[in-house]
């Protein structure tokens, strides 16, 4: 049995050494998400301060604490949260070179006319933006437009409209829920008390 093994070793040579493995840290390393640079321009102002924020990756609008409003086609989504803030999310535009960023225009309806609010310029790495505070009982209209380097023309903007529930109404709903729960507890206690009185005090005494 040893002779065939020796002949095979002489013909084919020793087996090749195992290939080196990459370090565990390098294999597990993942590229970090880029920061989102943006600039807020107030109405009537030509300049704004440059800021940075991390994208809200994996955010999903829960039914109890959030209400989602989508633009026609679903490219832009406004997630209206219960605390009065609005998280905007948008999908990647079609592949193409020369994407410089995005322009976000904001306006809201007044009693007789529409008023503009702060506009935002966002970098090409941005995929969402947070409006920290929005007025209650006001209908907003937000339009997002990708910006490309010339000579490519700008595509049409994606617009979404929504209304923020006023904070006073949210407080009233919470207060009514709490009061309703207290009333239910009191009614149950009263029913138990009436049943006890009927059973023990109002019933005739047993004959001796």
So what's the pLDDT on residue 86?
A: 93
- The count of other CB atoms within 10 Å of the CB of residue 122 is 24
Residue 145 in this model has a pLDDT that exceeds 90: yes
Residue 83 in this model has a pLDDT that exceeds 60: yes
Task: Classify domain 36-164 at the CATH class level.
Answer: mainly beta
So what's the pLDDT on residue 203?
A: 55
CB contact set of 101 (below 8 Å; sequence gap of 6+): 121, 122, 123, 124, 126, 146, 147
Burial of 197 (0-12, 13-18, 19+ CB in 10 A): exposed
So what's the pLDDT on residue 182?
A: 65
What is the rounded average pLDDT of the residues 111-125? 85
pTM value > 0.85: no
Can you give the residue ranges of every domain in the chain? 36-164, 166-196
So what's the pLDDT on residue 173?
A: 42
What is the rounded average pLDDT of the residues 172-197? 64
* Residue 105 vs residues 26, 32, 143: alpha-carbon distances, Å: 42, 29, 5
What is the rounded average pLDDT of the residues 152-179? 68
So what's the pLDDT on residue 16?
A: 52
The number of residues making up the chain comes to: 208
1-43: pLDDT as tens digits: 544 444 444 444 555 555 445 443 443 444 566 789 999 987 6
So what's the pLDDT on residue 202?
A: 59
Rama region for 105: left / alpha / beta (φ>0; ψ in -120 to 50; rest): beta
Query: Rounded distance, CA 132 to CA 51, Å?
Result: 14
Query: Rounded distance, CA 77 to CA 161, Å?
Result: 10
Averaged confidence pLDDT in the chain: 75
Query: What pairing do the DSSP bridges indicate for beta strands 158-163 and 76-81?
Result: unpaired
So what's the pLDDT on residue 95?
A: 61
Query: Rounded distance, CA 208 to CA 202, Å?
Result: 18
């Amino acid at each position: 049995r040893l002779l065939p093994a020796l002949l095979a070793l002489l013909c084919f040579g020793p087996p090749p050494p195992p290939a080196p493995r990459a370090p565990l840290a390098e294999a597990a390393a993942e590229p970090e998400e880029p920061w989102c640079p943006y600039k807020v321009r107030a109405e009537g102002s030509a300049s704004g301060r440059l800021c940075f924020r991390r994208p809200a990756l994996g955010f999903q609008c829960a039914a109890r604490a959030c209400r989602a409003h989508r633009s026609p086609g679903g490219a832009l989504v406004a997630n209206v949260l219960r605390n009065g803030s609005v998280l905007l999310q948008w999908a990647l535009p079609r592949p193409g070179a020369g994407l410089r960023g995005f322009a976000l225009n904001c306006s809201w309806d007044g009693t007789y006319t529409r008023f503009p609010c702060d506009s935002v310029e966002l970098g090409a790495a941005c995929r969402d933006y947070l409006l920290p505070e929005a007025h209650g009982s006001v209908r907003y209209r937000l339009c997002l437009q990708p910006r490309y380097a010339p000579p490519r023309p700008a595509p049409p903007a994606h617009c979404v409209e929504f209304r923020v529930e006023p904070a006073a109404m949210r407080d009233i709903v919470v207060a009514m829920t709490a009061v309703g729960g207290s009333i239910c507890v009191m009614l149950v206690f009263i029913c138990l008390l009436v049943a006890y009185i009927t059973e023990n005090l109002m019933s005739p005494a047993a004959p001796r």
